[in-house]
Structure 1
Amino acid sequence: MDFIEVTGIRCYGYTGYLPEEQVLGQWFEVDLILGVELKNAGISDNLEDTSDYRQAIAIVKDYIQTTKVALIEKLTEMIAQEILTLPKINQVRIRLTKLAPPIPDFGGQITIDITRTNY
């Protein structure tokens, strides 16, 4: 299987366990690895022979900007399932990062990393 990597999708969203996270929001960053057969596109040079990754980016942005759930695990799963409905996508790996989680005395980030397949 071949892969298309899309990195650094940043969006402001309202997912979080704390009530203020769903009101005030915060920044998220997403990296995608899309499992797609690329041989035909490499030969034909036609967009129809690959997956238009702009659609995957739009899905990520829409879900982050409009979904209010408690867990980033849930948000990540929702995005994965929607991306798997796109033409030619056989697998997706998503790394969704909460860039500034509201945890006292913690300056790091929290990342959920999942891989889902269409099999």
Structure 2
Amino acid sequence: MTQAFTGDRIILKDLGFYGYHGLMKEEKALGQRFFIDLECGVDLSAPALTDSIGKTVSYADIYDVVKQAFEGKRMHLIEAVAQNIVDAIFNAFQDVNWIIIRVRKPEAPIAMVRGEAAIELHRQRKIS
């Protein structure tokens, strides 16, 4: 069973981090920039009606969880980085019902003149 989709969301975009994720030896030693776009599905009816911070999930708190999950563990694949962040958000915020996360890697070790490599995960909280 899953939560109903409301369409409400908290959005964090272009979060920049420096990290050591990757398969290549150089990526692990030198690191590189990563950018994360995140949408968290949260019913925002109560904070919209009450104008009360106590009725919502703080985007500052979400950022702190994303930062800790990104920096806390080195991984080979950006897919695993994204899933680690998703898991951390679901664990920290019971009101988050679904997440769309994009991890972008502008300096991916491929011969591109312009652009970036990226992945996107769509996850919904599983209710048991």
Do they fold alike, i.e. is TM over 0.5?
Answer: yes
After the TM superposition, which residues 106-117 of structure 1 pair with which residues of structure 2 at under 5 Å, given as runs?
106-107=112-113, 108-117=115-124
Indicate yes or no: 2:88 matched with 1:49.
no
Indicate yes or no: 2:48 matched with 1:59.
no
Give the counterpart letter for 1:46 in structure 2.
S
Tell me by how many angstroms 1:39 deviates. Answer: 0.5
Instruction: List runs of 5+ in structure 2 lacking aligned partners.
Output: 1-5
Give the counterpart letter for 1:111 in structure 2.
A
Tell me by how many angstroms 1:67 deviates. Answer: 2.1
Give the counterpart letter for 2:50 in structure 1.
S
Tell me how large the CA RMSD over aligned residues is. 1.2
Instruction: List runs of 5+ in structure 1 lacking aligned partners.
Output: none
* Aligned-partner Cα distance in 1 for 2:51–2:89: 23
Tell me by how many angstroms 1:64 deviates. Answer: 2.5
Corresponding residue for residue 76 of structure 2: 70
* Aligned-partner Cα distance in 2 for 1:63–1:15: 12
Corresponding residue for residue 95 of structure 1: 102
Tell me by how many angstroms 1:24 deviates. Answer: 0.7
Deviation by residue 1:23-46 (Cα, 9 ceiling, x = unmatched): 110000001111000001111111
Secondary structure (helix, strand or coil) at the match of 1:89 reads: coil
Tell me by how many angstroms 1:47 deviates. Answer: 1.4
Corresponding residue for residue 40 of structure 2: 34
Identity over aligned pairs, percent: 31
Tell me by how many angstroms 1:56 deviates. Answer: 1.6
TM-score under structure 2 normalisation?
A: 0.86
How many residue pairs get aligned? The number is: 118
Corresponding residue for residue 85 of structure 2: 79
Moved over 4 A (4+): none
TM-score under structure 1 normalisation?
A: 0.92
Write 1 or 2 for the structure with the bigger share of strand.
1
